[in-house]
Amino acid sequence: MAKKTFRIGRVRGDLRGKVWYLTYHDQGKRHRPRAGSDLETAKKLAAQINSELESETPTALSFKPVKLSQLRTLWLDHHEHVARSSIATINRYRAATQHFVDFLSQSRVPSSTSTFRAEHAAQFVRYLRTIQVHPNGHPHAPQRPLRDRGIRYILQTCRAMLNFAIRRRHLPPYAENPFATLEVDRMRVEDSKTICLFTADQERRFLEACDVWQVPVFLTLMSTGMRAGELSHLLYPEDLTDDLSELVIRNRPALGWSRLTAFAQR
């Protein structure tokens, strides 16, 4: 008769029906994870966990659940103080994840990383398609529904936040990112805002309407394709090449702004 139990160091394996369960204590808590129906696989996992217990490293099946609102705080703090992301980037992340916090407070869904599932992420998508927002966050602008690109960006941001949770072991072992199953990047964009480009005559009349300070600003933007944030962080004369043919876009960590080094040709 086959044995229904085994022990590898501090880990015991028990057969219940056709499934092996592992029992061990870590940091004063009893753990009993499911190891599957194959005995050899269960023994390998038990040996790995025992080795991690002996070396006092986090075990393969350990995790520390946190509230999703707390996870948001940890993630934004990581971008501000560790990754040193730009202030504009952090503000965009904060605005995008605020919709997630609002959804959690208004809906009857789990608020912990250990119990939030793909079906709850799908409910969040439905919620986003029903709310009204102020364009660009301006309180006096008339409200409108979120555009498809805005919804996709919010979901991509939440997916990145949950990826951070996986790396920090705030999700159950082997759990998939709840937002990964939504295939966010493949969502159709059906209501994108129409982009109207100036004709040559409109460009001329626009520049003629600018004052003496506005002309060099808008002319530089139009000629190089730089973003407004990139232009506003240029310094004269160090960001100009010696022959004045190129502008160098540099990181400005002291100003809380970063950008990959690039060149804007004249």
| Interval 241-250: pLDDT, tens | 877 778 888 8
Q: Is residue 153 part of a domain?
A: yes
In a domain, 194, yes or no: no
Question: Per the structure block, which two tokens stand in for 160?
Answer: 């990145």
Q: How many domains does the chain have?
A: 3
Of 139, 75, 138, 128, which Cα lies nearest the Cα of 106?
Answer: 128
Give the number of other CB atoms < 10 A from CB of residue 81: 9
Q: Which residues contact 41 (CB under 8 A, 6 or more apart)?
A: 35
- Point out the domain boundary residue: 186, 217, 234: 186
Same domain, 140 and 182: yes
Nearest-Å Rg of the Cα atoms of the chain is: 27
- Same-domain status, 176 and 78: yes
Domain span at 247: 200-265
Q: Tell me, what's the pLDDT at 139?
A: 76
Residues contacting 21, CB < 8 A, separation 6+: 13, 14, 15, 32, 33, 34, 35
Looking at residue 2, its pLDDT comes to 67
Residue 69, token pair as written in the block: 């609102």
Q: Nearest CA to 38 among 10, 64, 19, 57? A: 19
| Residue 60 resides in a domain | no
Would residue 61 count as lying in a domain? no
Quote the pLDDT of residue 36: 82
Q: What is the pLDDT of residue 202?
A: 93
Q: What is the CATH number of the domain that holds 160?
A: 1.10.150
pLDDT for 266 equals 39
pLDDT value, residue 257: 63
229 part of a folded domain: yes
Low-confidence ranges of the chain (pLDDT < 50): 260-266
Residue with tokens 């960006």: 153
Helix/strand/coil for 144: strand
pLDDT for the residue 259: 60
CA dihedral of residues 112, 116, 121, 127 (deg, nearest 10): -50
Q: What are phi and psi of 151, to 5 degrees?
A: -65, -45
For residues 250 and 168, state if they share a domain: no
Q: 210 and 101 in one domain?
A: no
For residue 237, what pLDDT is reported? 82
